[in-house]
Structure 1
């Protein structure tokens, strides 16, 4: 998969800007505030239907404008397709594939990307929801059913929590059976897919980590399930757990068991990297996972996604950057990188930005 063109109209700092990335490496350079990350954000938005910098779409639209547009042409196999996303303040967004309107859930998995930013360090040190989001986004890009089940489970949890809150207000016993059945059915599928993905990732991650660290470190991912020492994904187990926890859940108006409560743990040489790893080791571990994610997506779809690296010069030392670019070149992975200066001694397209202009 390759991006052949990105055009942004009234997006962030750009009134109208077109970028035609190299099929290999594109380096966006320039001083801070010139719009490098804005272009990476637009590519990611076309892939996921959301920003990695804000949950408010209105912030993406250029100041003083009511609408903004992102257009991405990309090639999958020998077919060129176009994604257009039109954003309007306080009116949501409209998504089009080749001029045909599609829903957000149909967008995910069309134009696939993997993103690495300085904030990715929170994947290890931050809240469990960040690690769940990493896993959910990864699988959703290759499995439409997973995304459907994820949405279905999330809605069922919200409905169950709502029923518990309403019961507190009215004093009536909530009818939770229907929501428990929906959660159990979706949870069974979601956790099974997560475990299968982690097994595949664990077959890939060690080699990525060793390549970046000169065979000094080895990384593994472990799934941590709420309510069980060893992961379970049978419907009967979920039904039993949800039933057992009803009294507790009623007190706090939440659902204490399910995929929305699980977590990931990252082990380096058998030790929890969140507790025992240095910041440099944590950064390298995250990048290794991102590269493993790319290999996983390629194994599932037959194509590498587009790799987006935002300001990695501050995250990786020279030896790790050289190991990274060597891997990307060998695998012919299209990569868009931002930085204040040229950080890679390799051929590629260099785009110099200044005040939003080339």
Structure 2
């Protein structure tokens, strides 16, 4: 494997991760390599627990559960995640305290912050065996993929998503209350807020997809050596051609009020949109093999990584959980060679050593 010569001008780095009463760990510290780290050990040794904690420090939530309490070690009331990292050559520390009674508290350099302020500080891209659901699963998974990607590079986008979601919830609540009261709901205020937020959100999603489509084919070629054409296409509810103007949204919301009132929901907006992954202009969920789907997802993740670098000037940290079960030897080598060449800090888990390069952390040794 090609070894990097020197650290890049700017690349994000995780310096250390300490878990106190988190999942299977009573008190565990790891210090990843500046480039490739292989976390190995038998099943049940806690490999995915470490990846979950790294992602939690990035996103403020788990990729395995929506219940924060599940991260706290059994029998304990509290748990702590401590992450030190470097961004633009400046050392930072994220501390997250989880409590069964008091929820979570987040700190950056000992200063308390809200979750919305956490997103984008320590940027990561995650690949797990479950990522196949990005192609085959529900639309909300693909929306979440886009929203998390954009939020890591745009604090305003994350704020707009929160504001838009609240407006939709308030509109739905007004429709529900109207059913009980028998009075006609006043929806004009919520429609204006939804239309305004939708315009911004859809425009940013389209811009992001356009930028990813510039690099997805290149990533696919690196992994497979072939010239298959991969593309992401945005699917907007109510229009074959994506629209992001206020007048269109207001018209759609108005025309659907009767239907929305019956079901107490909002049937138009970015919360109803979807994405389609195409290979050679065919829907890969229907026409791609499982191997092609896995490679396509990994190509998308690599394109996401390139998108973050272009937007921020730094590669994010790449988290590859159990990649050994997803790719054959040739594709794993092609991926790791690319990552080492570009000096992307990469943390990989598996039950066996995947490469002769990088640092090995063996959880089977009970370090």
Fold conserved between structures, TM > 0.5? yes
State the distance in 2 between where 1:18 and 1:194 align: 37
CA distance in 2, matches of 1:231, 1:327: 35
SS of the counterpart of 1:81?
strand
| Structure 1 residue 78, shift from structure 2 partner | 1.4
- Provide the C-alpha distance between the structure 2 equivalents of 1:343 and 1:71, rounded to a whole number of angstroms: 28
- Tell me the equivalent position of 2:361: 351
| Residue equivalent to 1:289 | 300
Distance 2:262 2:141 in 1: 26
Partner deviation per Cα, 1:159-202 (whole Å, 9 max, x = no partner): 00001111111111001011000000000000000000000000
The equivalent of 2:280 in structure 1 is: 269
Q: Which residue number in structure 2 is paired with residue 59 of structure 1?
A: 70
Which residue of structure 2 aligns with residue 45 of structure 1? Answer: 56
Rounded Cα–Cα distance in structure 2 between residues aligned with 1:219 and 1:90: 47
Would the aligned equivalents of 1:219 and 1:267 in 2 still touch at CA under 8 Å? yes
* 2:314 alignment partner in structure 1: 303
Match of 2:33 in 1: 22
Q: Select which of 120, 127, 148 maps to 2:131.
A: 120
- Identify which of 136, 149, 152 aligns with 2:160: 149
Deviations 1:191-247 (A, max 9, x none): 000000000000010100111111242200000000000000011111110001000
Q: Secondary structure at the match of 2:364?
A: coil
How far off is 1:293 after superposition? 0.2
Q: 1:9 aligns with which of 13, 16, 20?
A: 20
Q: Distance in 1 between matches of 2:361 and 2:107?
A: 28
What is the correspondence of 1:144-293 to structure 2 with a 5 Å cutoff?
Answer: 144-293=155-304
Question: How many aligned positions are there?
Answer: 356
Separation (CA, whole Å) in 1 of partners of 2:305 and 2:48: 21
Report the Cα distance in structure 2 between the residues aligned to 1:80 and 1:176, rounded to whole angstroms: 48
- Give the aligned partner of residue 329 of structure 2: 318
Cα distance in structure 2, aligned partners of 1:271 and 1:318: 27
Moved over 3 A (4+): none
Q: Could you give the per-residue CA deviations for residues 74-127 of structure 1, whole angstroms, max 9, x where no partner exists?
A: 001110000000000032100000000000000000000000000000000000
- Root-mean-square deviation (CA, aligned residues, Å) is 0.8
Alpha-carbon distance between aligned partners in 1 of 2:147 and 2:204, rounded to the nearest angstrom: 10
Cα distance in 2 for residues equivalent to 1:319 and 1:166: 59
Unaligned runs of 5+ in 2: 1-11
Partner of 2:5: none
| Map of 2:4 onto structure 1 | none
CA contact (8 A) 1:58 1:90 kept: no
In the alignment, structure 1 residue 77 sits paired with structure 2 residue 88: yes
Matched-pair contact (CA < 8 Å) for 1:4–1:20 = yes
The gaps in structure 1 that reach 5 residues or longer are: none
